[in-house]
Structure 1
């Protein structure tokens, strides 16, 4: 997954304004307690990060 697709999904599920705030502030256990922004900066794959986001938001498999 490209980073642009990742952000499109984030915007779709959280709204374009809130997605960036959520990514900066929400720590995810599946990412080792890191935020989305920290995980991206650490070089984690967007696909792995998206899976953690989808689990946190309790998205249905068809949405993730």
Structure 2
């Protein structure tokens, strides 16, 4: 997972504004007591950080891969 994918998942799940608040203020035990922004900056993988957020925020397993995007009709 790339960092851009991480932020897309965050925006999809929590909204563009609130995802940035969570990313910079929610301390995650699953990544060493750091915020998502700090964990990513220190080299933690975006997938690991995303799953830590999902655990703390009780994101259901069926939404942890992001929302389904229907293919364009062609």
TM-score, length basis structure 2: 0.82
Aligned to 2:34: 34
Structure 1 runs of 4+ with >2 Å offset: none
- Across the aligned residues of Structure 1 and Structure 2, the Cα RMSD in angstroms comes to 0.8
Give the number of the structure whose alpha-carbon radius of gyration is greater. Answer: 2
CA distance in 2, matches of 1:53, 1:11: 13
Mapping of residues 1-64 of structure 1, within 5 Å: 1-64=1-64
C-alpha displacement at 1:62, in angstroms? 1.0
As a proportion of its length, which structure holds more helix?
Answer: 1
SS at match of 2:59: coil
Instruction: Give the TM-score taking structure 1 as reference length.
Output: 0.93
- Per-residue deviation at 1:18? 1.1
Number of equivalences = 64
